[in-house]
């Protein structure tokens, strides 16, 4: 299993250290900016003099060196990678044990594994190597932030911006570079986990693995199709044109489950798994029970789905306190067990249940184990989505993508005078067919049920998203019309509406 909580913890540390390394600098530059340019004089000579003074001040600041205590930073980062390594060790040990138990005994009644040899402290080399790289990344980002600030000042002066506008641009820059820091940190944590897992398993004599995704809505299609398949450690599958093991792709949260041969892949296990969860009922804790029954009622009021089927098969649960998704997402659907997990601390309860139930319909009820939203039956739906304004807006944002130093892709959104950075991976996630289908079900049911509470929740949710992200990921009612019609015809065929 991917160490989501450790990744989050590491990313928080990385961001904190980056910000600490530039906040002092920013403060000094901003106060010098105020000091040198007391009033925004229109006198050209005065501005030129102030500018010279300011640049002298900045170059002195540069000579003072950075604000990073490298050995302290090294110690902190090393501690984090050691924790991730310990996780990789525990998970590898646990899965090897499971693998061992599942093996058929040989004729002598014993089970044999290849040489298993899991050392306690990995390769401190690997930890050191990653630590060094990561200290370097923070230093590099810190330096490029300073370069950015100098550029902003030069440009601001030459184009005659006010001191306030220049100061504002410097402050915004921290936000943009903080987003970069977060991408880098998450990516490094994932890559290290994948790397440590690979080394441990290979050293233990494990020849290969079954590719495991987290099976949530954020899994990329290119990784989703690998789920359950066996690969040799010497022959990784091709993912988007590169040969990659789990964890090696950008922001990958997949895990290599130790395996001996093709026979350990899911194709050979699937019959055993089927029908295992059929007897589950909707069971929820009291505080989210209301939202669940409201969502089920709304579904039933619009679509003629056999409600006994919903109750019989779907299970809705509250995320446990140690669920790594707690606080990150309001809910998710696990197609393997047909369980929906909800974060009780999140608002917009009804829309969330409707959204997750839509994933269930998509994956399990309509798709029977595959995503129906990707099949031929949904072609008209996908076409309508692509023609919508909201989708086009997201496509345009994606066009602005740039590759940052670490090789990741990010996009910038300009809203008024602010710049926001979003990762292409996240955009791809919210633009994936199954996510669009789940969001469109929220809107579809909100229109057709005319349920006041749902309408209000969805409206607030839309507005908050636009305020935070700067663009729409739902639709206006008008923009949604063609999508609604395409859903109508899908549900008609299904016999769910007349
Ligand atoms: Zn992955
Ligand atoms: Zn979703």
Taking only the tens place, the pLDDT of each residue in 150-191 is: 888 888 888 777 788 888 888 888 888 998 899 899 999 999
Name, of 52-56, 254-258, 466-470, the range with top average pLDDT.
Answer: 254-258
Average of pLDDT values for 119-131?
Answer: 74
Helix (H) or strand (E) holding 415: strand 409-415
Q: What is the pLDDT of residue 48?
A: 76
* Helix residue ranges per DSSP H, 274-378: 286-302, 307-313, 349-360
Q: Provide mean pLDDT across the span 305-309.
A: 72
Quick one: CA torsion of 74, 80, 82, 87, rounded to 10 degrees? -170
Q: How far is the CA of 222 from the centre of ligand 2 (A)?
A: 17
List, for residues 290-304, the tens digit of each pLDDT value: 888 889 889 988 988
Q: What is the mean pLDDT of the chain?
A: 82
pLDDT at res. 408: 60
CA of 349 to the centre of ligand 2 (A): 14
Task: Report the separation in Å between the CA atom of 430 and the middle of ligand 2, taken as the mean of its atom positions.
Answer: 8
CA of 487 to the centre of ligand 2 (A): 17
Q: What are the φ/ψ torsions at residue 411 (nearest 5 degrees)?
A: -120, 155
Whether 55 shows a pLDDT value over 60: the answer reads: yes
Q: Which ligand is nearest to the CA of 373?
A: 2
In the predicted structure, residue 122 carries a pLDDT above the cut 60: no
> What whole-number distance in Å separates Cα of residue 191 and Cα of residue 197?
10
User: Which one is predicted more confidently, 114 or 62?
Assistant: 62
Mean pLDDT value across residues 333-361? 85
Q: Is 280 exposed, middle or buried (0-12, 13-18, 19+ CB in 10 A)?
A: middle
Say whether pLDDT at 133 is over 50.
yes
Average pLDDT of the residues in 275-290 = 49
Closest CA to 252 of 261, 244, 264, 262: 244
Q: Which of 207-216, 333-342, 374-383, 420-429 reaches the highest mean pLDDT?
A: 374-383
CA 408–ligand 1 middle distance (angstroms): 15
Looking at per-residue pLDDT, the higher value among 133 and 2 belongs to 133
- Rounded Cα distance, 23 and 18, in Å: 9
Compute, in angstroms, the gap from residue 228 CA to the centroid of ligand 1: 12
Q: Which listed ligand is nearest to 223 at the C-alpha?
A: 1
- C-alpha of residue 197 to centroid of ligand 1, in Å: 14
Provide mean pLDDT across the span 207-217: 86
Distance, CA 333 to ligand 2 centroid (Å)?
A: 8
Give the bridge partners for 231, in sequence order.
209
Model confidence band, residue 63 (pLDDT cutoffs 50, 70, 90): confident
The confidence score (pLDDT) of residue 478 equals 92
**Ligand 1 centre from 216 Cα, in Å?**
11
Ligand nearest to the CA of 218: 2
| Predicted pLDDT of residue 281 | 39
Q: Look at residue 65 in the predicted model and tell me its pLDDT.
A: 65
| CA atoms of 441 and 443, how far apart (whole Å) | 5
Q: What would the pLDDT profile of 226-270 be if each residue is shown by its tens digit?
A: 988 999 999 999 887 889 999 988 888 899 998 888 888 876 654
Q: In this predicted structure, which of 247-251, 271-275, 367-371, 392-396 has the lowest mean pLDDT?
A: 271-275
Neighbour count for residue 125 (Cβ, 10 Å): 9
Q: Which residues contact 490 (CB under 8 A, 6 or more apart)?
A: 377, 378, 380, 381
Q: How far is CA 29 from the centre of its chain?
A: 34
Q: Which ligand is nearest to the CA of 2?
A: 1
C-beta separation of 215 from 227 below 8 A: yes
Q: What's the CA-to-centroid distance between 96 and ligand 2, angstroms?
A: 32
- Which numbered ligand comes closest to the C-alpha of 254? 1
Question: For residues 313 and 295, what is the distance between their CA atoms, to the nearest angstrom?
Answer: 16
Give the pLDDT score at 340.
87
Q: Can you give the pLDDT at residue 436?
A: 97
Instruction: Give me 83's structure tokens.
Output: 């924790």
Distance 14 CA to ligand 1 centre (A): 22
Q: What pLDDT sits at residue 142?
A: 92
Ligand 2 mean position, distance from CA 89 (Å): 31
Residue 328 has a pLDDT of: 67
**Nearest ligand for residue 435 CA:** 2
Q: Which of residues 378 and 342 earns the better pLDDT score?
A: 378
**Residue 417 in this model has a pLDDT that exceeds 80:** no
Residue with more model confidence, 52 or 129: 129
Residue 406: per-residue pLDDT: 54
- Distance (Å) from CA 120 to ligand 2 centroid: 39
Distance 156 CA to ligand 2 centre (A): 42
Q: CA-based diameter of the chain, in Å?
A: 96
Instruction: Report whether 433 contacts 382 (CB < 8 A).
Output: yes
pLDDT band at 375 (very low <50, low <70, confident <90, very high): very high
Give the Å distance between the CA of 252 and the centre of ligand 1.
4
Q: Which ligand is nearest to the CA of 332?
A: 2
Alpha carbon of 240 to ligand 1 centroid (Å): 12
Higher pLDDT, 420 or 367: 367
The mean pLDDT value for 83-112 works out to: 76
CA of 329 to the centre of ligand 2 (A): 9
Distance 175 CA to ligand 1 centre (A): 27
Asked if 412 contacts 396 with a C-beta cutoff of 8 angstroms, the reply is no
Q: How close is the Cα of 359 to the center of ligand 2, in Å?
A: 7
Q: Which residues contact 250 (CB under 8 A, 6 or more apart)?
A: 187, 407, 408, 409, 425
Report CA(256)–ligand 1 centroid distance (Å): 10
336 C-alpha to ligand 1 centroid (Å): 17
Indicate the pLDDT class of residue 47, thresholds 50, 70 and 90.
confident
**Of 63 and 148, more confident:** 148
- In the prediction, which pLDDT does 42 show? 61
What pLDDT was estimated at residue 454? Answer: 95
Q: Which of 195-199, 313-317, 393-397 has the lowest mean pLDDT?
A: 313-317
Q: 135 near 73, Cβ under 8 Å?
A: yes
How much distance in Å is there from the Cα of 213 to the middle of ligand 1?
Answer: 6
Task: Using DSSP bridges, classify how beta strands 255-259 and 315-318 pair: parallel, antiparallel or unpaired.
Answer: unpaired
Q: Can you give the pLDDT at residue 16?
A: 93
């Amino acid at each position: 299993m991917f160490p989501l909580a450790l990744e989050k913890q590491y990313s928080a540390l990385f961001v904190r250290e980056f910000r600490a390394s530039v906040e002092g600098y920013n403060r000094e530059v901003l106060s010098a900016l105020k000091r040198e340019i007391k009033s925004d004089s229109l006198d050209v000579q005065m501005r030129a003099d102030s500018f010279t003074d300011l640049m002298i001040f900045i170059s002195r600041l540069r000579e003072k060196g950075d604000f990073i205590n490298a050995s302290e930073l090294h110690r902190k980062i090393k501690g984090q990678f050691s924790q991730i390594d310990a996780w990789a060790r525990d998970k590898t040990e646990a899965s090897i044990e499971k693998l061992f138990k599942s093996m058929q005994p040989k004729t002598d009644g014993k089970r044999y594994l290849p040489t298993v040899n899991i050392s306690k402290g990995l390769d401190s080399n690997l930890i050191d190597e990653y630590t060094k790289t990561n200290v370097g990344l923070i230093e590099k980002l810190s330096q490029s932030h300073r370069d950015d600030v100098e550029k902003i000042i030069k440009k601001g002066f030459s184009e005659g911006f006010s001191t306030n506008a220049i100061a504002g641009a410097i402050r915004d820059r921290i936000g943009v570079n903080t987003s970069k820091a977060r991408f880098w940190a998450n990516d490094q944590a994932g890559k290290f986990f994948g790397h440590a897992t690979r080394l441990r398993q290979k050293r233990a004599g494990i020849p290969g693995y079954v590719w495991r995704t987290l099976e949530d809505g954020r899994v990329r299609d290119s990784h989703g199709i690998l789920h359950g398949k066996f690969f040799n450690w010497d022959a990784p599958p091709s993912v988007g044109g590169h040969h990659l093991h789990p964890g090696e792709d950008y922001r990958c949260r997949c895990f290599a489950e130790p395996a001996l041969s093709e026979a350990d892949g899911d194709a050979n296990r699937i019959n055993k798994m089927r029908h295992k969860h059929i007897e589950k009922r909707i069971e929820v804790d009291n505080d989210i029970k209301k939202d669940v029954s409201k969502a089920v009622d709304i579904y039933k009021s619009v679509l003629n789905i056999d409600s006994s089927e919903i109750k019989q098969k779907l299970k809705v649960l509250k995320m446990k306190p140690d669920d790594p998704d707690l606080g990150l997402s309001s809910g998710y659907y696990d197609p393997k067990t047909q369980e929906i997990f909800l974060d009780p601390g999140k608002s917009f309860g009804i829309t969330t249940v409707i959204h997750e139930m839509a994933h269930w319909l998509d994956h399990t009820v309509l798709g029977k184990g595959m995503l129906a939203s990707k099949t031929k039956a949904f072609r008209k739906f996908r076409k309508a989505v692509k023609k919508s304004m909201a989708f086009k807006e997201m496509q345009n944002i994606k066009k602005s993508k740039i590759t940052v130093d670490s090789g990741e892709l990010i996009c910038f959104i300009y809203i008024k005078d602010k710049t926001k950075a979003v990762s292409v991976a996240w955009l791809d996630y919210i633009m994936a067919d199954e996510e669009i289908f789940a969001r469109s079900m929220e809107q579809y049911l909100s229109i057709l049920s005319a349920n006041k509470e749902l309408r209000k929740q969805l409206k607030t949710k839309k507005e908050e998203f636009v305020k935070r992200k700067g663009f729409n990921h739902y639709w206006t009612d008008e923009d949604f019309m063609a999508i609604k019609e395409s859903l109508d015809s899908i549900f008609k065929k299904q016999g769910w509406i007349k």
